[in-house]
Amino acid sequence: MNPRTFELDEFLPHPPAKVWRALSEPELMAAWLMPNEGFAPIVGTRFTFRAAPVPQARFSGLVECEVLEVDPGRLLRISWSSRETGLDTIVTWRLEPEGTGTRLLLTQTGFDLDDPDQARAFETLGGGWRSHAVRRMAQALDAL
């Protein structure tokens, strides 16, 4: 197995409490990430995200998740899995106050780059976190 971790370090010009709302309120999370069913920032909560299916990548559009750790205003850690591709990763968002804003540190661990489906997911998700998710989160925060 060739494990790999995706990492992102982004400054957001909003206070941590506001960024935490975007991570912890289901409707706000749906606005910038994906529609979700059953999400609550409570350890042990199982929920799903729904994305557009990508048949050529054997992805149905369903991401199965569980809340693994919560430190309100500071940290949210969830499992992020797809049965079709065998993807079983952990996504962690850490919030650190920085001036009048927030340093958002995101990691997604557990990719097996020896597996073609997971290597493709690593590239796709990494690009999505960088280009779409962070931009959409910033827009959702600006609208609050």
| Triad 20, 11, 72: Cα angle to 5° | 20
The reported pLDDT for the residue numbered 115 is 86
The residue type found at 93 is: W
Alpha helical stretches, state H, the chain: 16-24, 26-32, 116-128, 134-143
The class level of CATH for 3-143 reads: alpha beta
Cβ count within 10 A of residue 42:
9
| pLDDT tens, position by position, 6-61 | 999 999 999 999 999 999 999 999 999 999 999 999 999 999 999 888 787 777 88
Asked if 45 and 131 touch (Cβ cutoff 8 Å), the reply is no
The residues spanned by each domain of the chain are 3-143
